[in-house]
Amino acid sequence: MDYLRTVVPSQLTAERGSNLVVINPGSANVRIGFAHQQVPFNVPHCVAWHLKGQDEGPRRTVQDQMLNTQATATQTREREKAYDIIASLLKIPFLDEEAASNSFPRKLGRVEGYAPHQSRSDTTFAWTNVMEKNPKLSVAIERSEHNAGEKDSLDSAGTRGKGPHTDECKFKEFIMGEEALKIPPTAPYCVRRPLRRGHFNISHHYSSQQVCEDLSAIWNWILVEKLKIQLADRNLYSAILVLPETFDSREIKEMLSIVLRDLRFSTAVVHQEGLAAAFGNGLSTACVVNIGAQVTSVICIEDGVALPSTNVNLPYGGEDISRCLLWIQQHHQTWPPVHTNPMNKPVDMLMLNKLKESYCQIREGEFDAVAVVNSFDQEHVASHKTRLSALNVPPMGLFYPTLFVPEEYPPPPRSWFQDNEDMLEETWHMEFPRRPDMPDSFYPSGNGGLNMWDYHIFPRRLKKDEKLGLAEAITNSILSTGRIDLQRKLFCSIQLIGGVASTSGLVAAVEDRVLHAIPSTEAIDTVEVLQSRSDPSFVPWKGGAGGLDKKRGPHWKWQKVQGFLFSPGSSNVLLQHPIGNLQMDSESSIEISNWYSCKTVDRMKHGEAFPIC
């Protein structure tokens, strides 16, 4: 322990970083890598399973294919109103207003001369090869060739190349990562996303057991294929889980079980994503704004400690911007006459995300660009060169979220909320809207009767408003601290992370919108967004991999007490106070209190680790 207190941080990372695996899961992507790596592997958080015996009846190519994404009449009116508000701010024509120059083609010279677009690559994709060699048939063929005579071998060589070659192949059992998003539509596969909107993607089509099995399969595939860590060698490694603020305690417990029981790591510890992001940029006090693919979260950090009362979670992110981009182009009739459905066709969402990253930015004035759009209705990919208009409107939906229409899906089964090991039940902090195509019997009724979808709505730790814009969320989060000195410091220490944080013009927009959102009664007149030291998408991962508490030194302080491994006394591992001696046996359960709530940890086996404060 004396060595850990005196060792230089860089030396500790070099010595032990090769045995530390940092896992930062998200709804769309998971970032995994060794602690000593500069950049983690960023892999789409999905898996495509081969469908066996599914020749009869309709086939779902996506597990969430039943999601309802049709906007209601009210949502459509609110969306159009939000567009017009944004148009007035950006000084562009309203949604249904004809531009003054509509009688002749728009001038695109200013866009084509814009340097960042010159290096953009086209959004063309090659289909994934879903076939692999059948090992049993390959061995049989090799034996027959070996036993045959030389003449017979020469005669049969030509016929084998033409005929039975297809019998030597079979469908892959599963496909992971980006390859799973590019599977041909006719292939018998179903894509599953175990996480959605910052929670386990549990529904009546997707059980909690399937979610956990898919998480284990995805993470294990990355460990084997990318990090080259075989299952037999996992006991030599420790895992660091950097988890978003959206997960509740039961979901965290399930992921810890996956890491320790299924993936067989020797030890594991949990980091809070917002806190890790602050350390990743070398900050001890900041307002961390994480704009992910499906969720945006805001939380304030003071002197290396997260303030739970400041946490705000918003149910929209980068994928909503991508779908909004499609809606705008279809409304302006600039989208090619092809069937694009990002919810049911993962390759369409992949294409839209590429277009968003390449062309969307926040700036005043009309902003168009020429891009290549692909259609994937058939196995043959068709390319269409088209003009995309109003490219500066979709990112502004972060400040006017009624521009987005989030998908609706049913709540998880009641059984998911019955955690008998949880002494203080407060598990799910998420509200689920009703789906118009689902009968009322699927939802809790007011007559006191119970049904298969009935479940208790527990008091939520934080109020969530789907119509709350990003600027208001940041302002409310900082002002909730209640101290003017800290508020001034936080308003000048806003940190943007996540993939959307790289959007051009977003920093200036956040500074301007937040400044206008501060009430006039508050004595605050300065707002500043700090520049990230590295890729905003990887900042939390880097903070988990090598973030340091300047006052306490490195956060890798593993101790063993009564056969249990844990990491006490460091705030960036969700630990607020050292726990001292712990008297317990390997079959008992212990009550813990972390920044989420007081919970009971599952029966911990010998050698497992857990988050404690």
Q: How would you classify the pairing of strands 529-530 and 548-549?
A: unpaired
Q: In this predicted structure, what is the pLDDT of residue 154?
A: 39
- 97 pLDDT band, cuts 50/70/90, is confident
* Residues listed for the chain: 613
pLDDT tens column, 213-269: 999 999 999 999 999 999 999 999 999 999 999 998 889 999 999 999 999 999 999
Higher per-residue confidence, 111 vs 474 = 474
- 333 domain-assigned: yes
Highest mean pLDDT among 273-282, 421-430, 438-447, 593-602: 273-282
Look at residue 582 and tell me if it is in a domain.
no
The answer to whether residue 83 scores a pLDDT higher than 90 is yes
Query: 43 in a domain, yes or no?
Result: no
d(CA 417, CA 410): 15
Instruction: Report the alpha-carbon distance of residue 49 to residue 31 in Å, rounded.
Output: 21
Specify the 3-state DSSP secondary structure of 561. Answer: strand
Whole-Å CA distances, 447 to 432, 441, 450, 580: 20, 12, 9, 51
Has residue 81 been placed in a domain? yes
Q: Express each pLDDT in 178-227 by its tens digit.
A: 999 999 888 999 999 999 999 999 988 889 999 999 999 999 999 999 99
Asked if residues 276 and 540 have their Cβ atoms less than 8 Å apart, the reply is yes
> Residue 390 domain-assigned?
yes
pLDDT at 61: 81
> In terms of pLDDT, which residue wins out, 277 or 54?
277
- CA diameter of the chain: 96
The model's pTM: 0.78
pLDDT of amino acid 14? 60
Look at the chain and report how many structural domains it folds into: 1
Report the alpha-carbon distance of residue 2 to residue 270 in Å, rounded. Answer: 24
Full DSSP string of 225-245 = HTS---GGGGGG-EEEEEE-T
Q: What is the pLDDT of residue 58?
A: 57
Residue 368 above 80 pLDDT? yes
Question: From CA 20, how far away is CA 609, in angstroms rounded?
Answer: 14
Q: Taking the mean position of all CA atoms in its chain, how far away is CA 167?
A: 39
pLDDT at residue number 145: 53
- Output 477 or 375, whichever has higher pLDDT: 477
Answer whether residue 387 shows pLDDT above 60: yes
Report the CATH number that the domain containing residue 341 is assigned in CATH. 3.90.640.10
343 — pLDDT class (breaks 50, 70, 90): confident
Q: How does residue 430 score in pLDDT terms, banded at 50, 70 and 90?
A: very low
The amino acid occupying position 237 is: Y
Judged against a pLDDT cut of 80, whether residue 416 lies above it is answered with: no
Rg value, the chain, Cα: 26
What local confidence, expressed as pLDDT, does residue 168 receive?
A: 78
Q: Is residue 575 very low, low, confident or very high in pLDDT (cuts 50, 70, 90)?
A: very low
Six token digits for residue 469: 């814009």
Least confidently predicted of 37-51, 230-244, 586-600: 586-600
Q: Whole-number mean pLDDT of the chain?
A: 76
Per-residue pLDDT reduced to its tens digit, 530-559? 999 899 999 999 999 875 333 333 343 333
In the sheet with 41-44, reading across from the earlier edge strand, the strands are 41-44, 29-34, 20-25, 238-243, 267-272
Establish if 362 belongs to a structural domain: yes
- Give the percent of the chain with pLDDT over 70: 66
Nearest C-alpha neighbor of 240 from the set 268, 262, 261: 268
**Residue 109 belongs to some domain of the structure:** no
Cα–Cα distance, 566 to 594 (Å, whole number)? 14
Domain with 370 in it: 75-93+317-403
Q: How confident is the model over 165-189, as a mean pLDDT?
A: 87
pLDDT in tens, 433-469: 554 544 444 444 333 332 222 222 332 334 455 689 9
State residue 414's pLDDT score. Answer: 66
Does the pLDDT value for residue 78 go beyond 50? yes
